[in-house]
Amino acid sequence: MKKAAIAATAVAVAPLVETACAQTTKKMKVLMINGSPHQNGNTATALQEAAAQLKENGIDSEIVWIGNAPVHGCIACGHCKSQEPKCIFDDDICNQVAAKMKESDALIVGSPVYYGQPNGAVLAIVQRLCYSAGGALSGKPAAAFAVCRRGGATASFQTMNMPFMMMNMPVVTSQYWNIGYGQSQGQIAQDAEGMQTMRTLANNMAALLKATGGKPMPGPSERTTFTNFIK
């Protein structure tokens, strides 16, 4: 091949090569929801520990704080199943989180324990996300985290895992249940095992993302058979 022809071929191929490289080098990202009304409380400290460890593994993350403004519960209106598949309430953070989740490869939800349960506001957000933006969640790795002063962390952790398992999300585990102890701001940093659990969780999530290349787990191969136990 003449020199000019070789040069022309190289020019034609270059954009394709660049596109392929861009696709393979896209950094994976974990979205984290801080379900506490305290932006810099114990939940935030634990999520930051996981974020730092994800970074060590070359994985990006973003912590979204749910804030302390009122949050709607799902009103089962079905609007999200209409032509405009998003939650009818646009005056809280739910639809913004859904948009971020679409661009993310995995999810970690953290919450303080309130009366032995996760914070109601973060549960409301997650329930509405599942119903209105299930496609953004389905098949992506997920994990929950709960922090408490003394009791109710495992019950809260279990509650938070329930929607993940219904959304075909592989639940990422750690060396222990993802729970931590602390009351006032930053106290959880003294819970060495709790913080270590968050680092192990991050390592495990990074390993899973790298093994799958961030590809979500395929959904069910069959159409869902709904049986409602009416009879």
Ligand X SMILES: Cc1cc2nc3c(=O)[nH]c(=O)nc-3n(C[C@H](O)[C@H](O)[C@H](O)COP(=O)(O)O)c2cc1C
Binding site for ligand X (CB under 6 A): 36, 38, 41-43, 112-116, 147-152, 182-183, 185
Beta bridge partners of 181: 148
| Position closest to ligand X via CB | 41
Minimum distance from residue 182 beta carbon to ligand X (Å): 5
Which residues, other chains included, contact 114 with Cβ-Cβ below 8 Å and sequence gap of 6+? 120
Minimum distance from residue 144 beta carbon to ligand X (Å): 14
Cβ closer to ligand X: 19 or 184? 184
Cβ closer to ligand X: 97 or 153? 153
The tokens for 134 are: 């299930």
CA–CA gap between residue 198 and residue 200 (Å, rounded): 5
Minimum distance from residue 108 beta carbon to ligand X (Å): 14
Please name the amino acid found at residue 68: N
Cβ closer to ligand X: 82 or 158? 158
Cβ closer to ligand X: 114 or 131? 114
Cβ closer to ligand X: 43 or 197? 43
Cβ closer to ligand X: 28 or 33? 33
- CA distances in angstroms from 227 to 127, 130, 224, 230, 231, listed in the order given: 21, 20, 9, 8, 10
- CA distances in angstroms from 195 to 49, 65, 113, 121, 188, listed in the order given: 7, 20, 17, 24, 8
SS3 108: strand
Minimum distance from residue 157 beta carbon to ligand X (Å): 13
For residues 94 and 87, the answer to whether their CB atoms sit within 8 Å is yes
Minimum distance from residue 174 beta carbon to ligand X (Å): 19
Which residues, other chains included, contact 105 with Cβ-Cβ below 8 Å and sequence gap of 6+? 28, 29, 30, 140, 141, 209, 214, 216
Minimum distance from residue 187 beta carbon to ligand X (Å): 7
Query: Among 205, 115, 222, which residue's Cα sits nearest to residue 169?
Result: 205
